Amino acid sequence: MNSSLSFSSTRPRRAVVFAGLALGSLLFSPVGFAGPGEVDDTDTAEVGHFELESGIEYEQAADGRETVIAPAITYGLVDGVEVELGLDYAFESADGEPDTETFLPAAQFKAKFWKSTDGSRSLGFKGKIAFPMRMRGPADAEDPEGYARLLFTEEHGAWQFDANLGYGYHGAWHRDDDDKVTAGVDVRYRVTPRCQVMLETVAERGDHPDAHVTGLVNLGTKYSMTDRMKLECLVGTGVGRESVQLRLVSTLKWEF
């Protein structure tokens, strides 16, 4: 991320966009962001059910800041398979560079393709493709981007362990310096029937010879307000060169 946000320089058009997306988020799910954690588990939406989620993410790095508003809707197609449609709005301000505003319509697919006989272990796959549309700033965000990930989940009583291995691409697969190989793990513990705490770490490396390995460590909680409404909050910090210094995410998910 290259960013440094100056809220005092907000223009009327940007304010209207923020207000519209925030209002849409409130209408479709009381507030939120699609999946604050970087590490995903193999769980999918119930068959024939929808999940509405929306939220806000803030990241601060040495050279700037970025704020993202991201509503999304997920549908359980069949047992162990879900699809998701989302629309992120990202405002980024980097020191010494023009501010940028970008819409990212995206589609995701997630499938759980193996489960152990006792149900404690499972494997899955998740893929995403987004089509950035630069609304303001340099017009360099037109190539599609996304990722493909292998997912692993293991549960033992109140404990849950997740691991991901993925490849993120920008433009043509394996033909861009922005492509990245990522690996991440998390540990979750259910404190009460409605509250879960989590610690996760993610490492990524650009897919080119001069790339540096960077990391992200997140600490968060998930709280079920009702059987169908869940609140997720997360704070994180980066490790390594050119990594994010601070990451804050809040999400509310409504299932029906």
Of 17-26, 58-67, 148-157, least confident by mean pLDDT is: 17-26
Look at residue 7 and tell me whether its pLDDT is greater than 70.
no
> Considering the domain boundaries, does residue 231 fall inside one?
yes
In a domain, 176, yes or no: yes
pLDDT at 10: 42
CA–CA separation, 3 and 67 (whole Å): 9
The answer to whether position 2 is within a domain reads no
Per-residue pLDDT at 138: 72
In a domain, 243, yes or no: yes
CATH number of the CATH domain containing 41: 2.40.128.130
**In the structure, how many helices (H) and strands (E) does the chain have?**
1, 14
The pLDDT assigned to 137 comes to 78
The answer as to whether 1 is a domain residue is no
Total number of domains constituting the chain: 1
In a domain, 43, yes or no: yes
222 within 8 A of 253, measured Cβ to Cβ: no
Cβ of 215: how many Cβ atoms within 10 Å? Answer: 17
pLDDT tens string 205-248: 887 777 788 899 999 999 999 989 999 999 999 887 667 789 99
Contact by Cβ (8 Å): 90, 67: yes
Q: Look at phi and psi of residue 174 and say left if phi exceeds 0, alpha if psi is from -120 to 50, else beta.
A: left
pTM of the model: 0.81
199: its two tokens: 């610690």
Domain that holds residue 180: 7-255
Quick check: 14 pLDDT over 80? no
User: How confident is the model at residue 193, as a pLDDT?
Assistant: 94
- Let me know if residue 244 belongs to a domain: yes
Average of per-residue pLDDT across 146-160: 97
CA–CA gap between residue 68 and residue 39 (Å, rounded)? 18
- DSSP character for 47? B
Answer yes or no: is 203 within a domain. Answer: yes
Higher pLDDT: 54 or 171? It is 54
Q: What is the pLDDT of residues 182-210, one digit of tens each?
A: 999 999 999 999 999 999 999 998 877 77
